[in-house]
């Protein structure tokens, strides 16, 4: 694919696609609802229990079903119309938030917290099935030439929802959990309707008769092992976030190092997402054209340097700047990986490969927080963040040597499945 064709794709040409607009609206409202529900549930559970451990179980209740079900969900996303998978998933999420409304209305949750965890496990189950189908959906809606710009637009929509959602959730909760949960219910039902309204059909490939059920589930893993550019991209993100993520330690920085209180903590938490959104808008206007592999590695190295700066900073504005750079540089890596995987994967395996990618992302986020806490306990807060940043830079150097094919990628449009 020539560079001229790639650069000739306008924003209007992508947004003119009816089904892509339905997808974009659905993903935005779904992410917005998820963020609002997260704020409302966390606040309500803490109001009831006054226990930080209870908040930990809120995340665990949603995380475990996702980890257990992502591989089967990826297989299903390759064999069943993805529109119906996503619509059914969001209908189940609507059911789960209806149960939260019921728990609040009856007062059951004020006497026992475990019903909340059961409902959140249902919510996590629904997200496990929607995740691979959503990530494998954009290539069905746009042409290969439009894909990088389509991915950037979709990512921007997601990041804006991640920024706006928590703030909106906090505002809605002023009027009580019924208002917050009711808003989520409307959003989730709207997403289900939006995906049912999409006309683009997923061309279902016949199942390979030589593969067992287990073989189908692990086909994504097998394909990634044979495709060094995909393995290198998702494992680079895994280890970079695992070592360089300082999110779990931000409360310590806000309280004891920067002395900015809970308001400052909120700004610190929003800074990486803001940096990501700004870069996403830039990528929409000017998608990467050349030296894609080197740019990705360079941005992950910048992420490591910014992590070190944040770790050493004792000034709030410098810390905010470092976090903005961290989010911006990480967004380039996310953009390359999100575009690379659909281009390098056949459609009949894309759901399963996306499921493995989601597993890596979940592992990096969850284990990254655990790693940060353990390292802070051993070395102290500042040294642990600095060591994590240095480790990220080391991973970049090692991965450039281990995955030369990834380093040598020039134009994304040149990437093809085997």
Query: Is residue 205's pLDDT more than 80?
Result: no
Query: Is residue 215's pLDDT more than 70?
Result: no
Query: Is residue 334's pLDDT more than 70?
Result: yes
Average pLDDT, integer, range 299-306: 95
pLDDT of residue 243: 77
Q: Name the 3-class secondary structure at 157.
A: helix
**More confident: 208 or 266:** 266
Binned at pLDDT 50, 70 and 90, residue 214 comes out as low
Query: Is residue 8's pLDDT more than 60?
Result: no
pLDDT of residue 6: 44
Query: Is residue 143's pLDDT more than 90?
Result: no
Query: Is residue 3's pLDDT more than 50?
Result: no
Q: Name the 3-class secondary structure at 106.
A: helix
**More confident: 236 or 219:** 236
pTM for the model stands at: 0.71
Query: Is residue 397's pLDDT more than 90?
Result: yes
Average pLDDT, integer, range 148-164: 81
Residues 101 and 37: beta-carbon distance below 8 Å: no
Check the CA dihedral 139-145-148-154 and report its sign: negative
Q: Which long-range contacts (CB under 8 A, 24 or more apart) does 250-253 make?
A: 252/376, 252/381, 253/310, 253/319, 253/381
Tens digits of residue pLDDT in 23-80: 999 999 999 999 888 878 877 877 787 765 666 577 778 878 888 888 888 888 888 8
Q: Which long-range contacts (CB under 8 A, 24 or more apart) does 310-315 make?
A: 310/246, 310/253, 310/385, 310/389, 311/246, 311/382, 311/383, 311/384, 311/385, 311/386, 311/388, 311/389, 312/382, 312/386, 313/258, 314/257, 314/258, 315/258
Question: What is the spatial distance between Cα 73 and Cα 82, in angstroms, rounded to a whole number?
Answer: 11
Domains, the chain, ordered by start: 1-198 (1.20.1250.20), 218-413 (1.20.1250.20)
pLDDT of residue 259: 87
Check the CA dihedral 84-87-92-98 and report its sign: negative
Query: Is residue 213's pLDDT more than 60?
Result: no
């Amino acid at each position: 694919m020539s560079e001229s064709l790639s650069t000739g794709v306008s924003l209007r040409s992508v947004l003119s696609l009816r089904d892509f607009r339905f997808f974009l609206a659905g993903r935005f409202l779904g992410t917005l609802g998820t963020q609002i529900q997260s704020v409302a549930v966390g606040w309500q559970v803490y109001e009831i229990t006054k226990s930080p451990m209870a908040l930990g179980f809120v995340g665990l209740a949603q995380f475990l079903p996702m980890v257990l079900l992502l591989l089967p969900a990826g297989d299903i996303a390759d064999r069943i119309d993805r529109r119906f998978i996503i619509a059914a998933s969001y209908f189940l999420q609507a059911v789960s938030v209806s149960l939260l409304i019921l728990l609040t209305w009856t007062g059951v949750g004020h006497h026992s917290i475990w019903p909340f965890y059961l409902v959140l496990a249902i919510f996590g189950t629904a997200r496990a099935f929607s995740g691979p189908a959503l990530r494998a959906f954009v290539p069905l809606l746009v042409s290969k030439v439009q894909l990088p710009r389509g991915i950037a637009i979709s990512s921007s929509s997601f990041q804006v929802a991640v920024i706006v959602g928590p703030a909106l959730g906090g505002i809605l909760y002023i009027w009580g959990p019924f208002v917050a949960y009711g808003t989520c219910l409307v959003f989730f039902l709207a997403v289900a309707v939006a995906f049912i309204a999409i006309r683009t059909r997923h061309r279902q490939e016949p199942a390979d008769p030589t593969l067992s059920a287990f073989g189908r589930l692990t086909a994504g893993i097998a394909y990634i092992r044979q495709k060094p550019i995909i393995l290198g991209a998702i494992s680079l993100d895994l280890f970079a976030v695992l070592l360089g993520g300082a999110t779990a330690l931000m409360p310590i920085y806000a309280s004891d190092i920067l002395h900015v209180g809970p308001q400052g903590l909120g700004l610190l938490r929003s800074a990486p997402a803001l940096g990501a959104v700004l870069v996403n808008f830039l990528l929409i206007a000017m998608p990467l054209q050349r030296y894609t592999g080197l740019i990705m590695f360079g941005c992950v190295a910048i992420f490591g340097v910014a992590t070190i700066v944040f770790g050493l900073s004792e000034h709030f504005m410098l810390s905010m700047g470092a976090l903005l750079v961290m989010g911006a540089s990480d967004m380039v890596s996310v953009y390359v990986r999100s575009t690379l995987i659909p281009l390098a994967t056949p459609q009949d395996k894309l759901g399963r490969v996306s499921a493995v990618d989601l597993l890596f992302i979940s592992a990096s986020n969850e284990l990254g927080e655990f790693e940060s806490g353990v390292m802070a306990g051993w070395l102290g807060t500042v040294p642990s963040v600095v060591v994590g940043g240095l480790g990220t830079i080391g991973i970049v150097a090692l991965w450039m040597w281990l995955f030369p094919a990834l380093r040598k990628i020039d134009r994304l449009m040149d990437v093809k499945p085997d």
